[in-house]
């Protein structure tokens, strides 16, 4: 990370604090901890993938100065994430401009890979634009826990200490997760095939999230061999996200499997971790039929909880015609109940 990016990162951390001296001191302290961590991670990715320009976007002006992307990334820029015909190339670039801007405005983490043979801002053939989850970078020790569990302050007050999610660990974990999406597209080509089938589209996104989650978990364990409690809390949060219809980030079973594994994860080599993650994700991936059945079963469980499933399942009309699996429904019901009890949801 160059000095300008470090300054932007530190400025962002300070910007989100209040005007008080105490808040500024807390933000400055957090900035001094996080900046070297992010710098170290970006350096590792740049060394492992020298053909990729990694650009960290922390606030809207960072991205706005790159617009239009056909200027900064070149007129022949193309997106590597989504399969598309040549005639849709510019339309997809414009859609990605809107998407990245929206994520920055909402403080969401995301990563997008572009093929950039004639970019103005770099001579590298690929450019990865990364945003971080900005609202988590504040002085509250409960920020990551609040975000992942979607709890208000009253509920957070009763959260067991063992289920707290460390802000620093979560930000670095999220950074690795997002960076992997670019590495995945660079290594494997289009992540999302052209399809008219919404279940297939959701399955492709789910598989991409699974690969990124496993990589982030391996990277976390390489830094903290005894950091399995963090992964268990992530699994709890991912399970609870099902209550809001987030099916594509449901990676709990893979995380729990890693928590129970006795295999050591002592390598810091990015490419080795990538290869290992892809192999495990391939072995853990579900089939189209299994994924569709999961959607059917989840809808049944959410309906039992009086949750408006029409909001979540509108794009999957075929799911309504399928019969749930009693065994799977019971398993999902138990997982959700255990997660809710764990954090006093």
Longest dimension (CA), the chain: 59
pLDDT at 33: 53
* Residue extents of the structural domains in the chain: 1-48, 49-132, 138-345
168: nearest Cα among 223, 211, 106: 223
- Give the model's pLDDT for residue 319: 87
Contacts of 188 (CB under 8 A, 6+ apart): 278
In Å, how far are 115, 119, 251, 302, 341 from 240, measured between CA atoms? 36, 42, 11, 11, 11
**Spans of the chain, pLDDT less than 50:** 1-31
Closest among 155, 175, 178, 159 to 167, alpha carbons compared: 175
pLDDT score at 10: 38
Q: State whether residue 63 is helix, strand or coil.
A: helix
How far apart are the C-alpha atoms of 238 and 51, rounded to whole Å?
33
pLDDT at residue 32, as a whole number: 53
- What's the distance, CA 302 to chain centroid? 24
Separation CA 150–CA 156 (nearest Å): 9
Q: Residues 6 or more apart from 337 whose CB is under 8 A from it?
A: none
- How far is residue 294's CA from residue 209's CA, in Å, rounded to a whole number? 16
Structure tokens, 343 = 């954090």
DSSP 8-state symbol, 55: E
CB count in 10 Å sphere of residue 308: 10
Alpha-carbon span 52 to 127, nearest angstrom: 5
What was the pLDDT predicted at 21? 42
273 class by beta-carbon count within 10 Å (0-12 exposed, 13-18 middle, 19+ buried): buried
Alpha carbons 289 and 13: distance in angstroms, whole number: 45
Say what the pLDDT of residue 138 is.
56
Tokens in use for 72? 């900064």
């Amino acid at each position: 990370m160059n000095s300008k990016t470090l300054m932007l990162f530190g400025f962002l951390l300070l910007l989100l604090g209040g005007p008080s001296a105490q808040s500024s001191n807390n933000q400055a302290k957090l900035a001094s901890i996080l900046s070297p961590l992010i710098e170290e991670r970006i350096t590792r990715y740049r060394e492992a993938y020298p053909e990729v320009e990694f650009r960290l976007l922390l606030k809207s002006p960072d991205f706005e100065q790159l617009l239009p992307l056909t200027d900064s990334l070149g007129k022949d820029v193309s997106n590597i994430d989504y399969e598309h015909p040549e005639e849709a190339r510019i339309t997809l670039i414009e859609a990605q401009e809107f998407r990245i801007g929206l994520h920055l405005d909402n403080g969401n983490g995301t990563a997008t890979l572009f093929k950039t043979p004639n970019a103005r801002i770099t001579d590298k053939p690929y450019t990865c634009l990364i945003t971080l989850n900005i609202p988590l970078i504040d002085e509250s020790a409960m920020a990551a826990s609040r975000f992942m569990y979607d709890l208000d302050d009253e509920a957070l007050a009763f959260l067991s200490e063992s289920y707290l999610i460390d802000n620093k660990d979560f930000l670095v974990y999220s950074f690795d997760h997002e960076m992997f999406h670019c590495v995945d597209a660079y290594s494997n080509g289009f992540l999302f095939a052209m399809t008219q089938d919404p279940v297939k589209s959701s399955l492709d996104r789910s598989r991409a999230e699974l690969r990124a989650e496993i990589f982030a978990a391996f990277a976390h364990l390489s830094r903290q061999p005894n950091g399995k409690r963090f992964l268990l809390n992530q699994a709890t949060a991912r399970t609870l996200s099902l209550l809001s219809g987030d099916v594509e980030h449901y990676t709990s079973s893979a995380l729990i499997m890693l928590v129970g594994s006795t295999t050591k994860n002592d390598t810091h080599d990015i490419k080795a971790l990538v290869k290992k993650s892809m192999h495990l994700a391939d072995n853990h991936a579900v089939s189209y039929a299994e994924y569709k059945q999961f959607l059917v079963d989840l809808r049944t469980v959410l309906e039992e909880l009086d949750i408006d499933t029409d909001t979540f399942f509108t794009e999957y009309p075929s799911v309504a015609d399928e019969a749930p699996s009693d065994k799977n429904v019971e398993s999902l019901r138990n997982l959700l109940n255990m997660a809710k009890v764990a954090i006093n949801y």
